[in-house]
Chain A
Amino acid sequence: MRSLLAITRKDLRLRLRDRSVIITGLLAPLVLALIFNFVFGSAFAGDADFEPSYGVVAAEDGETARVLAGIADSIGSEPQMFASVEEAEAAVDAGDLDAVFVIPTGFDQSIQAGGGGELEVIGNVDSPTATQIAAAIASGYGLGLERVQLSIAAGIAAGGDPATLVPAAIGDQNRTQVSIGKIEAAIRQLDGTTYAVAGMAVFFLMFTAQFGFRSLLDERRDGTLARILATPTSPNSVLGAKTLVSFLLGLMSLTVLLIAGALLMGAQWGDPLAVGVLVLAAVAAAVSISAVVSGFARTPEAAENQHAVVSVVLGMLGGTFFPIGQEGGVLSTLTELTPHHWFLRGLANVAGGGGLAEALPAVGWLLVMAVVLGSVAAWVMSRQVWK
């Protein structure tokens, strides 16, 4: 323990003295977060002032128009109603609306008769997130209608009265839609500023967390590692110190950035305890990843290059630059393999008013990554000590 602390102290002194950790761990992410917030802030969903404006095109005053207008009203400004598609398109093109729902003539009658129909969403190209939300609402409404039809069909088959079955089923559908819209659109999102700060903080965490392990390779090259190992210091103490240095530098970087983001840019994090636990778990995962990458590198320069590649790829996949996960498909799966994704998701849950319980799933995944990759790292890094 004595040697571990001595090496840790020495490494921290060297890192702070050469200013690399200040630049990489603090200044660069703060500056980039400011830039990202300035350039892209409004593009991120869930801004505190995010209030999508929708319209509904309906030739007749039917049930579907009433439901969609109600949902749009609950998550944004009061929806505009249009009688023709042309009018609605003009409003969207002019930027007056983010998106409109187009209900074809005879849609409700077709549904009630057990037939099909197609809801259309026309979005403003400059409002991708609001358009995505509108598309999701329309899609969800469609799925709900299928359930309604199945419910009515089952009721009639069981001898029920269609006159009472139809209103009851549609009423259930309405309640479901409104509830989903509120949770997804209003709660589980970071505002643009908070997202930019969090994204940059976790992106640069990967760079900061490599410092401890990179110094092991430096020491091996410079001969000081051999000199340390010729003293009564066990290899485990050396590895422990390097891990502790990486962890402390990562923790310092992430903590300072979150605090600075709140103080300087108005980022809103939520429950401090939950955020603190998320930070610790994210740093642990980042340290494990850094250790694995360093463990397979032959030289300090190779380690740095590999770290850069891994950090950028994971950062992109994890949604630190833009929320890639919502695009769906393979990317959605890949993004869930990154600590960035879970950190941001955990923060989103907490920032929306959640507490430690809401952060725990993300914390759990981050700790799983830390433990699994940490086990691999322990093996490869011990080989580095004796190379």
Chain B
Amino acid sequence: MNVLEARDLAKSFGDLKAVDGVSFNIAPGETYGLLGPNGAGKTTSISMVCGLLEADAGEVRVMGQLMSPRTVAPKAHLGLVPQDLAVYPDLTARENIEFFGRLYGMKGKELSSRAGEVLEVIGLTERGNDRAKEFSGGMKRRLNIGIGLLHRPQLLILDEPTVGVDPQSRNAILESVEVLAGEGIAVLYTTHYMEEAERLCDRVAIIDEGKVKAEGTRRELVQLVGQNDRVSIAGTGPLAQVASMLGSIAGVTEATSHEQRVDLLVENASGRLPELLASAATAGMSISGVEVEEPNLEAAFLHLTGKALRD
């Protein structure tokens, strides 16, 4: 059973169609990305998924239970990390975590123990009894995430959790998400940072103007636009002949020689790399290094929406 099923979601604000027929499913342990520019409809979609906003059309099911603003039970399966900081500055980190824990029905030693674990995960154990208003922006962000983890949700929803975060904290947040995904939690992750989606997400939906333009793994999305992996073999020798010979190998769509390197466009480079390197060596090339660059979502996004991601 999918942890989350969103079907044909639609939401308008006046004449503006913020979300228009968005559908997606998330399986247990899967990290699913909603990738789109600001104003694409990501947060509106998430608000409907969390039962904070009534959908004009469509439905959301969490663990098979219908979600709406009037329902309470399915929300027990969710952990929400909102885009903007949603913590109480005058409460300590521990008090913040424990307050939301009580709303999820946790209490007593279980709550206290789990709050300690979460503080450990987000690296705030030493600052647990300090008020949140005394924290740096990155620490507040980590607390914001920690609150969402407390009750071990089956679905963790992170709405642009790294916006405005310093690189160090950002990396810590991404690592936390990777750990959670490794523990089997389903994650819905919205971002307009391409590299985050590429790093974290098993599947990605490219969303723009309220519609899902395409959905799939990174490879599937890139294949939609027909791009191949780029392989750059550095070395010396008869590079022109090497390029010519490699270009004749099946799966290599383009081969060009440069000063001290040969560049190739290859379908599924990781599967063909041993053959390519062996052929280059046979052709007389002395290889000093290899770089493989898979096609990225940036190009796919540009292709699908006609605009750069940060437009």
Contact = CB atoms under 8 A, between A and B. Distances in A.
A14 B86 contact: no
Contact of A230 (B75, B88, B91, B105): B75
Interface in A161-212: none
A223 B85 contact: yes
A86 interface: no
Interface stretch (A138-146, A231-239, A341-349, A354-362): A231-239
Contact of A227 (B72, B95, B147): B147
Contacts, number: 65
Contact of A10 (B69, B91, B147): B91
A232 B86 contact: no
A10 B88 contact: yes
Interface stretch (B76-84, B163-171, B207-215, B217-225): B76-84
Contact of B52 (A14, A17, A18, A230): A230
B193 interface: no
A14 B88 contact: yes
B1 interface: no
B102 to A, nearest CB: 4
B74 to A, nearest CB: 8
Nearest to B147: A227
Contacts of B50: 230
A6 interface: yes
B69 A386 contact: yes
A235 B69 CA distance: 9
Contact of B91 (A14, A229, A231, A386): A14
Contact of B103 (A222, A232, A386): A232
Interface in A231-259: 231-235
A226 B75 contact: no
A231 B90 contact: no
Interface in A365-386: 386
Given A6-B102, A230-B78, A232-B104, A17 B90 contact: yes
A224 interface: yes
B40 to A, nearest CB: 19
Nearest to B107: A2
Contacts of A386: 69
Nearest to B74: A232
Interface in A16-32: 17-18
B87 interface: yes
Nearest to A226: B52
A222 B75 contact: no
Contact of B82 (A226, A233, A234): A226
B88 A223 contact: no
B91 to A, nearest CB: 7
Interface string B184-197: 00000000000000
A3 interface: yes
B137 interface: no
Nearest to A10: B99
B86 A6 contact: no
Contacts of A2: 102, 105
Nearest to A222: B86
A232 B82 contact: no
Given A232-B72, A233-B72, A226 B103 contact: no
B73 interface: yes
A228 B95 CA distance: 15
A6 B52 contact: no
Interface of A: 2-3, 6-7, 10, 13-14, 17-18, 222-224, 226-235, 386
Given A226-B82, A229-B69, 15 more contacts: A3-B103, A10-B88, A10-B91, A224-B87, A226-B86, A229-B51, A229-B52, A231-B75, A231-B103, A231-B104, A232-B73, A232-B76, A232-B105, A233-B103, A235-B69
